[in-house]
Amino acid sequence: MHYNHFLHKDRPVSDVPRSVKILLLSALFLQLMWHSFQEPIVAKADDLPAPLSTRTYVLSSLGEPIAASKFLNLWLQAFDNQPGASISFHQLNYPRLTQWLDTSLELDDRGHYPMLVAARVYGSIKDPDKQRIMTDYVFYKFNENPQKYWRWLAHVVITAKHELKDFDLALKYANALADETAGLDVPYWAKDMKIIVLEDMGQVEAAKILVGALIESKEITDPYELNFLVQKIAVLEEKSLKKRQSVEK
Amino acid sequence: MFSQVLTISRFTIIESLRNRLLLLTILVIGISFALVEFIGDLAITEHRVTQVAILAAFLRMSAVVMLTLFVVSSTVRELNDKTLEMILAMPIRRGNYYLGKLLGYMYIALLVSVIFSVLLLLYADSEQVLIWTISLFLELILVVALSLVMLFTFNQVPSALTGVFIIYGASRIVTSIFLMAKYPIIAHTSVAQQFMDSFIELLTWLLPDLHRFTQTEWLAYNTAEWSMLLPLMGQTLIYLLFLSFIALFDFYRKNF
């Protein structure tokens, strides 16, 4: 043998038995044939599955519930983009979506991510039924903890008023926002949203009575809120006058 | 005696540096940084909290895995190369050898904790990061001691690693499992279920309460206080003594 044979780490291909070479090629051929008989790979979007229990996620994350919550948020957010397929929010199972948002909040009760996506992402599609599912979900969570979730209920008041065009629903949410946050650290513009809604519903007199009652109750101590209410009552007076004048004509 | 301990610990540290463990740590930092920045771009709100939560969990697991792999593999190499037998042939007590190794690995655990915490400073409050780092260091001390126990018990890398990861994982989730058993959805009435409930309760007594250590909540919501470290130090000291005597018990019984 030539000394080159010993210089190289591997032996030459000619040292491999012929049977091994033949069987190798046969095995490769078999794999290609096997693959050709398989069903073609087609992109297929999966439906949103039901979430597992919160405890399952706590255990599988080895006791890292906050990290698990954030990971679930991102996974859910990206669920509409699947391998080779993209599904619209209209195709998502919204009741099941609320279960996922609940799971995320149970894992991290200080997070607001699920409420933001409920109010501004999933609640912004052009499907009134699905929007109502999200607005009702936010309303339900608000009633559990008004101090924590008031800002999201304020968002869905806007959604109900301007996107759903359902003023009764908007008034229901605005009333809850005012009644459930009494004494809590919630800004006046949120508590006084029902005045705006009443005004937009054309119930100027009702709005005027409400503002007057708020001012007379002496419960309002914030000077900016008092100023807003005083200005509002002047605007409502003017609207009421114009309405009376147009009726008389 | 102490000079023997210090010499063995010094050579343990030199070995870790030669095995490029610190380089691996820096590589993990680089990967973590890229991962976390990508995740931050995905999140539509709560960017910082999302980044810090995922980063802290990832760094904690990485530190545990890296240190376990290093401790087990380097000690097994000493066993297989007969280096350990050569050391023990000299007038060195087995206890001193164990103490030297433990001290060296604790120093490496400290280095790993500090290097990982540097990245966290970009995303979390510095005081919270400092408390988190100290807690991680205490947790890694227990992991090191547990790795040595498993190795002296099993002598093989796969068995030792499996043992460490099972016990570490169980320590992290034992409190959750105990609560699930204590407050079940359907009452446990059968003998088997009651036996399992008792077994789980026994585990809570025997395993360290690692779910109190290195909490992501500290970094995400700035809830850590210095006083929280006292019970962690107490738990670390007691469990370290417990694991050390188990290791010495096995080590002194070994015939080389």
Cβ-based neighbours of B223, under 8 Å, separated by 6 or more: B217
Averaged pLDDT for residues A68-77: 93
Q: Measure B91 CA to nearest chain A CA, in Å.
A: 44
Determine the distance in angstroms separating the CA of A20 from the nearest CA of chain B, rounded to an integer. 33
In this model, does residue A210 exceed pLDDT 90? no
Rounded to 5 degrees, φ, ψ at B101 are: -60, -45
Task: Please judge whether B46 and A111 are an interchain contact, meaning their C-beta atoms are less than 8 angstroms apart.
Answer: yes
| Other beta carbons less than 10 A from residue A50's beta carbon | 11
Mutation site, B54, B65, B200, interface A, largest A CB count within 10 A: B54
Residue of A74, A108, A110 lying closest to B43 (CB–CB): A74
Higher model confidence: residue A188 or residue B130? B130
Instruction: State the Cα–Cα distance between residues B73 and A134, nearest whole angstrom.
Output: 53
pLDDT tens by residue, A93-119: 999 999 999 999 999 999 999 999 999
Contacts of B172 in chain A (CB under 8 A): 62-63
Q: Do B46 and A63 touch (CB under 8 A)?
A: no
Q: Which of A152, A221, A231 is nearest to A188 (CA)?
A: A221
- The structure's pTM equals 0.84
Most confident of A60-69, A231-240, B247-256: A60-69
- State the pLDDT at residue B50: 93
Q: How far apart (Å, rounded) are the C-alpha atoms in residues A236 and A203?
A: 10
Contact B173 A59 (CB under 8 A): yes
B217 contacts A63? CB cut-off 8 A: no
The predicted pLDDT at position A170 comes to 92
Supply the DSSP symbol for A91: G
ipTM surpassing 0.90, yes or no? no
What are the pLDDT digits (tens) for A20-67?
999 999 999 999 999 999 988 877 777 888 999 898 999 899 889 999
Contacts of B55 (CB under 8 A, 6+ apart): B32, B35, B36, B119, B120, B123
A124: buried, middle or exposed (CB in 10 Å: 19+, 13-18, 0-12)? middle
Q: Determine contact, residues B109/B137, Cβ cutoff 8 Å.
A: yes
Would you report the helix, strand and coil content of chain A in percent, each value rounded to 5?
A: 70, 0, 30
Please enumerate residues of A whose Cβ is less than 8 A from a Cβ of B: 55, 58-59, 61-64, 66-67, 69-71, 73-74, 77-78, 108, 110-113, 116-117, 121
**Percent of chain B whose pLDDT exceeds 90:** 63
**B49 to A70: CB separation less than 8 angstroms, yes or no:** yes
Cβ-based contacts of A106 with chain B (< 8 Å): none
The residue-averaged pLDDT of B92-110 equals 93
